[in-house]
Amino acid sequence: METMIPAGADALRVLMTRQSHWPLSEPAPDDAQLRQIFDTALRAPDHGGLRPWRFVLIRGDARLKLGEVLVDLASSRSPGEPHSAHEHRRSRALAAPVVIAVVASVTTRTKVPEVEQLLAVGAAAMNMLNAVHAMGFGGFWATGADSYEPGMHRALGLADNDRLLGFLFVGTPPQGVRAVERPSSEAYVTEWFEASA
């Protein structure tokens, strides 16, 4: 595992070198490190100070239960197929030693639009992924059909106003993973009313 990257000038290096890793293995962040990771989430921009983020920590044998839920959901989406056809989905929950459900607890009792509440939770999740990387671990943000299933929401004990924005998988990345080539940012940036010389 990499050593912790110090603050200061190296903070930019954390942001510039972060990439997704899958699958992930032990060791995982310990309780103190997880607390720090969750604390970084609370530093995300948050219009109105609503604190709309909620997180469900899934680790240890709880991942086996998550695997059962994934198999059941896949089976319910394909009623013509045997239940056994979806057994491979069980291993998805075991692809990392720590899984964190990212939840937006959306309120309508505010002038802050829902989209801005969702963006705040997305920013919180990104802070967490950056913290994971800064600690020398790896992370992966998984979304997809399972995140939108009422059955998954019930399994996680979510409220009617909650939106599941996916799962963060956290652990130790494989050795020798090549850095992902990133395109130049110039292709994605335009200047409005370009300043004259």
Q: Report the largest interatomic distance among the alpha carbons of the chain, rounded to a whole angstrom.
A: 68
Q: Is 141 annotated as a binding residue?
A: yes
Cα–Cα distance measured from residue 80 to residue 114, given in angstroms and rounded to the nearest whole number:
37
CA distance 60 to 32: 17
Cα 33 to Cα 68, 93, 137, 176, 192, distances in angstroms: 28, 21, 11, 24, 42
Residue 158 CB coordination number (10 Å): 18
Nearest to 38 by CA among 51, 22, 25: 51
47 is in an annotated binding site: yes
133 is in an annotated binding site: no
CA–CA distances in Å: residue 159 to residues 63, 103, 156, 163, 176:
21, 10, 9, 9, 42
From the CA atom positions of the chain, what is the Rg in Å? 19
Q: Is 43 flagged in the annotation as binding?
A: yes
Q: Which residues carry a binding-site annotation? A: 18-20, 43, 47, 141-143
Q: Which residues carry a binding-site annotation for FMN? A: 18-20, 43, 47, 141-143
